[in-house]
Amino acid sequence: MSRDVQFKEKNIHVAIKESILLNFGDFGIGCVQLSLKVKYHNPLTSIFLVRVKRGHHQMVQSAITFIQQINRKQTAIQTLHIAGTIRSCQKFLVNYHKKTLPAIISQAKDDDTKKKIQDILNCYNVEGAKDMKLMDETVQDLVEEPEQSD
């Protein structure tokens, strides 16, 4: 996914609904329409959180995998984690960022960004979702920085 494209939560919601209608028909829409909601969306890290009623999550997961375009732009969506609460999703995200940030170090162009990433990895060794917001904001800053340096 290119970072120039800006999706809103509405666009993702519409795309998921269309995919369910195409792949699972009226029955699928009927199961899921009331409970389906895009709870959280980070356009810079391209991560979003979808809520759905228990029991139909597998249907929605497969419908999301079949999404080819959002807002007439070609996309491919990968499911990172399925959980019962937003809190456990955020816990997963903290660990996910911990794993992916070292990969970004190798791609970083300046020594300053490398130092920042290493600082984050040292600070956020704390388990739990307390620092989730802060971590997310710092990841956002990091993602914005390489663009500015270009």
Partner 1 sequence: MAHTSTEQCEMLKSKDFTKSKEYKSKYIYLKTTLQLEDDSRIIDHPMVFQGIINEALTSLFGLVGSAMPVDILKYDTSKHIAILRIHSCDKVKVWSALSLYGFHRNSRCSFQIHQVSGHLISMSNSPPLSTN
Q: For residue 7, what is the DSSP state?
A: -
Q: Quote the tokens at residue 84.
A: 């019962």
CB of 62 to partner 1, least distance (A): 8
What secondary structure, in 3-state letters, does 14-37 show? HHHHHHHHHHHHHHHHHHHCCCCE
Strands 73-74 and 37-42: what pairing? unpaired
CB-wise, 15 or 93, nearer to partner 1? 15
Which stretches of 33-131 are DSSP H helices? 57-65, 86-107, 111-123
Q: Which stretch binds partner 1 (CB under 8 A): 10-18, 20-28, 81-89, 133-141?
A: 20-28
Question: Between the CA of residue 132 and those of 66, 81, 86, what are the distances in Å?
Answer: 30, 16, 12
Stretch that binds partner 1, among 5-13, 14-22, 48-56, 70-78 (CB under 8 A): 14-22
Residue in 3, 6, 10, 27 binding partner 1, rule: CB under 8 A: 27
24 binds partner 1 (CB under 8 A): yes
Identified binder of partner 1 from the candidate list 12, 28, 97, 116, rule CB under 8 A: 28
Q: Restricting to residues 37-56, which ones interact with partner 1 according to CB under 8 A? A: none
Which 115-134 residues touch partner 1, going by CB under 8 A?
none
- How many angstroms separate the CA atoms of 77 and 64, rounded? 7
Tell me the closest approach of the beta carbon of residue 66 to partner 1, in angstroms. 9
Member of 3, 10, 22, 109 binding partner 1 (CB under 8 A): 22
Of 53, 63, 60, the residue nearest 22 (C-alpha):
63
Residues at the site binding partner 1, with contacts judged by CB under 8 A: 20-28
